Each structure stands twice: as structure tokens, then as C-alpha cells.
Amino acid sequence: MTIVLRRGIWTFATAVRGRSGRTSWLLAAMLAVALAVPGGGANATSRIKDIADFQGIRENMLVGYGLVVGLNGTGDTLRNSPFTRQSLVAMLERLGVNTRSSNLATRNVAAVMVTSNLPAFAKQGNRIDVTISALGDAQNLRGGILLVTPLMGADGEVYAVSQGPVAVAGFTAQGQAGSVTKGIPTTGRIANGAIVERELGFDLATMETVQISLRNPDLTTARRVAGVINDRFNAPVARATDPATVLLVPGPDQQGDIVNLLTEIEQLQVEPDQTARVVIDELSGVIVMGRDVRVDDVAIAQGNLTVRVTERPQVSQPNAFATQGQTVTVPRTDIEIDEGEDNRMMMLKSGVSLQDLVDGLNALGVGPRDLISILQTIKAAGALQAEIVLQ
């Protein structure tokens, strides 16, 4: 197991020898440190606009159902996708074509879901990007054209209308003995493919108060944000109301000029605080620790019982001039037991830093799965002063 220190990030990696003899490097654990090595400079600061959102300045999600036409035989099978057939018949009837008694068998049409995000303060006539996703059993949307599709918000109102050629990054190529697929050919995008038809009624300039919402709620960070704003304007214009919200009440000089006020506030620098937390992804074996993780006095011993069973069957044949006998397979089994007798117990002193914890666990020579178990056991013993979050 090796440790690499790169810009304040400790990365564990372990080499696993495969059957073919090649060495494949697996990411065993990554312990991220927000600061540089202990003894370095001051803590890093961030702009308020990078750690918080302002009330009313947000996107809204839109969704719609439509048809993509012009596919080269890679669309939905109408027999297996009844919603595509119903949509196609309804569309043709609106255009004056009666096809209810016809046996439609086209493969050039696909039912799709159209999604997009309506930016904050988008005006009527602005264009936004849309994403197209196949709903039925279509194989490829390449070359298709999306017909007029209304995009609705959560309130059921239509806020944009989309139409245009679908750009697909993925592709599929196949022959009689195999096929190759790159990306997702049943998903595409239309750049500037929707026109905003309805605006959101929100007037930021006339607001008397503004809420600043922290993306990572924390009492200390909320108080620091309020303090930085008050120091900038030399007045108590901001106060933290909860771990996630800072209430901004502009003074008489800032009333009616909220836009310029927020522009100035979002550039202010603040030092975010964070909870001591260990995030563990057991599926991939990734571990991320915050800089404030501490460990009390604890002794750690790590050992594994490994039983390896190897089958080496041998072939037994009769002698060359034998008149009787037959060739048989004789089983041969080798059993090897490793009780981990070389592993040692390690003592961690109280208040060790993240670097000391990394060095100590690495001295045990533990693997990624064992490292996860050790951290969970230290937490269960009450010696790990941090929250463990399992992904």
C-alpha cells in the first residue's frame, strides 16, 4: 500500500495482482484535507456566491412529452409502444389525417420525454437548451427531429415550447457476430431548442428583505457570513436565523437598490466551517475525511483469517501395455491457512491529527475494506470524534 501527498490530499492506493500477472491499481481510499499540511498558512476562504444562494435566484425544472420523427428505422415499435401509436394518431388527426382504421407499422417515430431548466429571470423569447430521452423501445435518436412540444412546470403551466433537430453523441454499430455501442444513443440534446413563452413573476428589485441560503447548513458559517456582511456595511443589516439562512435587511441607503447590494455581497470572502465527518462509500471503497477529524486514545489490532483452497486435478492413465484400465481424473487439493500472525497492535494517542491517523492506519498495512471496518469500529468504541456517513 502506498501513500501519495499531493496538494494537501492523502491518497491511498493498493496494487492487486490478477490471474494474468498484470498489476491493476485500484482506488482504495481517498482522505481529503481542506487545508494544507499542518503548520501551513491560514484557512482558505470562499466567496459568498460559491457557498450560498439568494432568495428567488434559482432555476425551475420543466418537462414535456413529444414525438421525434425522421428516424432511419430506429424508432419505437408501435406494437410494443402503444403510447407512441396513440400520440401519432392524435397528431395526424389534428393535421387533418384520419389513420384510426389504418395498420401503422412505421419505425421512424419515437416517443420522448423533453426536460429543461428555466433560468432565473428568463424573459419571454429567450432560448434555453433541452434534453431528449427515448420513452419506448427506440434504438437510436440520431437524425431525428423533435416536433413542437410544450414544456410545463410543476404547476402545470406551459413556460416554454421546444422543437428542432436532435443532436446525439452516442452511436451503435453492429454486424452479424457482434455490436459496438458508445455513449447513449437514445438520449440527445437540442442547443437553444426551446423558446420561453411565460415569465416567472418575481421582482427582486422591490424586495425589502432577502434570505441568503447556505448550501451546506452550519451555524458557524451562517454567523460568519452575517458578520462579514455587517463589517462591510458597518451596520447590522444581516443576521443568522438558523444554520441554513441569513436574513438580509437593507438599510435606508440600500433600499431600492437590491441588485447592486447583492452583487457586492456575493463577492465578499468568508471562511466556511465544516462538521468533522467521515464519508464512506462501501461499494467503491472510497473514504473521505474532513480536516477536523480527531481520535482519542485507542489501541488497534488488525488481523484476517485467510483460507485458500487450490484444486490441481491430475490425470491417471493405465500403463502402456496394460490389458485393462481406464484414464481417470484424480483430485488433488491444497489448503493454505493464513491467520495474520505478523499483524501488530498499534496505539493512537489522544487528539491525533488526520495526518497521524493516516500514517498509523497505513503502518498496519490494511486494505481498503479493512480500513472501512477499522474506522467504523473506532467510532463504535467512542474514540472517533467525527460523524460517519455511509453512501
All three cell numbers of 196, joined, read 420561453
Q: How far is CA 230 from CA 51, 235, 254, 255, 388, in A?
A: 18, 5, 13, 16, 35
pLDDT score at 41: 40
pLDDT score at 43: 59
Burial of 73 (0-12, 13-18, 19+ CB in 10 A): exposed
Residue 279 pairs with which residues in a beta bridge? 288, 389
pLDDT score at 240: 95
| For the chain, domain boundaries | 2-34+277-315+331-390, 46-56+205-270, 60-196
pLDDT score at 111: 96
pLDDT score at 52: 94
d(CA 372, CA 286): 9
d(CA 210, CA 245): 10
pLDDT score at 3: 35
Q: Closest Cα to residue 222, out of 238, 244, 250?
A: 244
Domain 46-56+205-270 -> CATH class: alpha beta
Helix, strand or coil for residue 201? coil
pLDDT digits 0-9 by tens, 65-100: 999 999 999 999 988 889 999 999 999 988 988 887
pLDDT < 50 regions, the chain: 1-42, 305
pLDDT score at 71: 94
Helix, strand or coil for residue 310? strand
All three cell numbers of 214, joined, read 447556505
pLDDT score at 28: 36
pLDDT score at 153: 94
pLDDT score at 15: 33
Count the neighbouring beta carbons within 10 Å of the beta carbon of residue 286. 18
pLDDT score at 358: 66
